Chain A
Amino acid sequence: MDDYAGLSDTELAAVLRQYNIPHGPVVGSTRKLYEKKIFEYETQRRRLSPPSSSAASFSYRFSDLNSASVDSDMYDLPKKEDALLYQSKGYNDDYYEESYLTTRTYGEPDSAGQSRGFRQSATSLPDADTFHHQVRDDNLLSSSEEECKDRERPMYGRDSAYQSITHYRPVSASRSSLGLSYYPTSSSTSSASSSSSSPSWLTRRAIRPEKHAPGAGLGHDRQVPLWGQLLLFLVFAIFLFFVYYFMQAEEGSPF
């Protein structure tokens, strides 16, 4: 890792660009971080024996994604996924399509749903970073709501891997609350996403009201509706009153 210290800032930036690593300015505070990043990237490349380094890193991330989805029951994924997503940021959409095909931790009820999600995932990746945030948002939300029942939502492969992280620590300070009210804030944080990604977002939003419409008839998470409860209460109160009245009558002068 120390051989990178010999490079000047501009040379380091050139190396980062060569490896297609998205980066910011190489400044005193950031230099060490980018050196470490290049070091990690190169160790990944060296780990694999295949001749072409690009194919090697491709398959490495591939298998890593699979292992990430397999280990979805374990909750130590965030770091690995961060690194994976970060590396895969600069790569083309073909890689993403293949990864979604293979990472299916949840059994899909119908393959149509999967293919729908697949097509949506292929189209909604202009900006992988915001997508990454979106997926996290969706998963935080979906994990809090009916997770198993909500099959209609487009199931991304990576989405299912994230869904198991129900206790995932919020990624940033803004993600501290879960619930429907969270939609507006999350959509504002992902405002940089392009229009093609927002339809998938909107379709998700549309599904929720549908799901809640039949639920609204039940009346706000109660088994018995509110008016029914009041009615029952009144009936019970009247019944008790009558019992008391008749008991009083018995205690009184019997006829």
Chain B
Amino acid sequence: MTTSQKHRDFVAEPMGEKPVGSLAGTGEVLGKKLEERGCDKAYVVPGQFLVLKKDEYLFREWLKSRDCFGYAFL
């Protein structure tokens, strides 16, 4: 599976304070939505994975829901 340029750019260096829109797979629309909901930095995404205790299934559900901190359901 060849990686896109965006992916390569992202993994080339520590993510630091990169915005969440720089993740491979997040386009403009999704990036903006996530920023509105509070996930404005890329490190939130692996953080969420860890909070879910590295549960892949739940993590994927969270990604699909495109909602960061439960705001959409309040």
Interface size on A, residues (CB 8 A): 20
- Contact residues, B1-53 vs A (CB, 8 A): 1, 3, 48, 51-53
Q: Does A86 contact B (CB under 8 A)?
A: yes
- Contact residues, A20-54 vs B (CB, 8 A): 22-25, 27-33, 36-37
Do the beta carbons of A33 and B53 come within 8 Å of each other?
Answer: no
Do the beta carbons of B70 and A29 come within 8 Å of each other?
Answer: yes
A22's partner among B48, B53, B70 (CB-CB below 8 A) is B53
Do the beta carbons of A82 and B56 come within 8 Å of each other?
Answer: yes
Do the beta carbons of B51 and A171 come within 8 Å of each other?
Answer: no
Q: How far is the CB of A128 from chain B (nearest CB, A)?
A: 12
Scoring A residues 168 to 198 as 1 if CB is less than 8 Å from chain B, else 0, what string do you get?
A: 0011100010000000000000000000000
A86's partner among B3, B57, B68 (CB-CB below 8 A) is B57
Chain B residue nearest to A35 in the complex (CB): B73
| Assembly CA distance A86 to B59 (angstroms) | 12
Do the beta carbons of A31 and B70 come within 8 Å of each other?
Answer: yes
User: Known interface pairs A32-B70, A86-B57, A172-B56. Does A24 touch B65 (Cβ–Cβ under 8 Å)?
Assistant: no
B1's partner among A22, A82, A86, A170 (CB-CB below 8 A) is A170
Do the beta carbons of B52 and A33 come within 8 Å of each other?
Answer: yes
Chain A residue nearest to B53 in the complex (CB): A24
Q: How far is the CB of B1 from chain A (nearest CB, A)?
A: 5
Residues of A within 8 A of B70 (CB): 28-32
| Assembly CA distance A44 to B3 (angstroms) | 39
Q: How far is the CB of A16 from chain B (nearest CB, A)?
A: 12
Q: Does A83 contact B (CB under 8 A)?
A: yes
Q: How far is the CB of B42 from chain A (nearest CB, A)?
A: 14
User: Known interface pairs A29-B62, A33-B61. Does A23 touch B53 (Cβ–Cβ under 8 Å)?
Assistant: yes
Q: Which B residues have a C-beta under 8 Å from some C-beta of A?
A: 1, 3, 48, 51-53, 55-58, 60-62, 65, 67-70, 73
Q: Which A residues have a C-beta under 8 Å from some C-beta of B?
A: 22-25, 27-33, 36-37, 82-83, 86, 170-172, 176
User: Could you jot down 28 A-B contacts, CB within 8 Å?
Assistant: A23-B53, A24-B51, A24-B53, A24-B55, A25-B51, A27-B51, A29-B48, A29-B51, A29-B62, A29-B70, A30-B51, A30-B52, A30-B62, A30-B70, A31-B70, A32-B73, A33-B52, A33-B58, A33-B61, A33-B62, A36-B61, A37-B58, A83-B57, A86-B55, A170-B1, A171-B56, A172-B56, A176-B3
The 9 closest A-B pairs by CB, nearest first: A24-B53, A82-B57, A29-B69, A28-B70, A32-B73, A28-B69, A176-B1, A86-B57, A33-B58
